[in-house]
Homo-oligomer: A and B are copies of this chain.
Amino acid sequence: MAARLVEARLSDNERFDWLRLIRSENVGPRTFRALIDRCGGAAAALAALPELARRGGASRPIRVAGVDDVARELDEARKFGVRFIAYCEPEYPPALRHIDAAPPLIALRGREEALQQPAVAIVGSRNASAAGLAFADRLARGLGQAGYVVVSGLARGIDQRAHVAALETGTIAVLAGGHAKPYPPEAAPLLPRIAENGAIVSEMPLQWEARGRDFPRRNRIVSGLALGAIVVEAARGSGSLITARLAAEQGREVLAAPGSPLDPRAEGTNDLLRDGATLCARVDDALAALEPLRTRASVGRMEEPRRTGGLWLDEPAETDEPAAAGPDEAGETAVGARVAALLGPAPVSIDELARVASADVGSVRAALVELELAGRIELSGGDRVALLTAEERD
């Protein structure tokens, strides 16, 4: 059974535990959620981590984030004007809440209100043409004036131009690293200007330096914050196309600006159009695609928060139950061994895995959490899972 969120505001202690849990080794957004579901809260999950990882076959003890490190990150965050908003809190961006692997916590600099506005992502090449930059500018201004906050990735070229054009109406920059290490470095002077009417968002530790793999991960937040993503210019294989793919997977509108068949910077956008993206050659094209979603989004806004202790479950959590030692512990370990033996490097669905393992899906999920904490598997989109090879584990 999938957990469903009850909206709640975290206490300071709970927020500390949430941050500590998501900063612990092998805990990604999906495992975070599974742990809270299973253990009933972040504190209990933290207590259970070592035993769960051991049962998953970890070759050495799991590294739980240190209390001092977490306290230091919270302290530094305060100096940067950064605060943490949890998935279950009303300030969390409503569109982002609905994506697969939504970040449990986002670190926010700037205005919370920007996260509640309808948003549109405008992305494109770093190596943009003059026409592409001018069109990004026109789009960002027009959509800003129409009440949309413009989301992008702070990259050179189209991204920065979109941010700058929407400074007055509000723009959100999503960082691939932490707030203390914005990328690219020359965009740093832009950040306080963005924070004035908009926001800067990151899910990574404050001091995290962005690496290659962090950019596609970040892109899911760019598209996840928005009702739709507009790709202005993109060569084949460029990062903006990843944003477009993620937007489609998240059920968001994908729009692309057309370009000359002879311009390599338009190959990616023309490919998107060929594959069914909505053509965007003027502000009205974007509005026609987004306005119906905007209405729907506002209808779907969450109601007033209830205080329930920050749980993910509908059911009252049985917090007095020992976290990692249910009555069928031996049985679960047996399922874990069967599941581990069945997995390979090609991703399979959890349903299929349960069928082949002759186990119920709930037990398989529990076993997978342990295997993930042990660093042996990788959970991916569409409820699929794969064994990590030796190299990938490093």
Which A residues contact B (CB, under 8 angstroms)? 131-132, 134-135, 257-263, 266-267, 269-270, 273-274, 279-282, 285
Asked whether B282 lies within 8 Å of A258 as measured between CB atoms, the reply is no
Q: Closest chain B residue to A273 by CB distance?
A: B279
Asked whether A279 lies within 8 Å of B285 as measured between CB atoms, the reply is no
Asked whether B263 lies within 8 Å of A274 as measured between CB atoms, the reply is no
| Docked complex Cα distance between A346 and B260 (Å) | 40
* Distance from A16 Cβ to chain B, minimum over Cβ atoms (Å): 49
Q: Closest chain B residue to A269 by CB distance?
A: B258
Residues of B within 8 A of A262 (CB): 131, 134-135
* Distance from A244 Cβ to chain B, minimum over Cβ atoms (Å): 15
- The 10 A-B pairs with the shortest beta carbon distances in the complex, nearest first, are A258-B258, A261-B281, A270-B281, A131-B262, A274-B279, A131-B260, A135-B261, A273-B279, A258-B270, A257-B261
Residues of B within 8 A of A131 (CB): 260-263
| Docked complex Cα distance between A48 and B257 (Å) | 59
* Distance from A123 Cβ to chain B, minimum over Cβ atoms (Å): 16
Known A270-B279, A279-B274, A281-B274; judge A259-B260 contact (CB<8 A): yes
| Docked complex Cα distance between A261 and B273 (Å) | 14
Asked whether A261 lies within 8 Å of B261 as measured between CB atoms, the reply is no
Give which listed residue, B263, B267, B274, B282, contacts A261 with CB less than 8 A: B282
Residues of B within 8 A of A279 (CB): 258, 270, 273-274
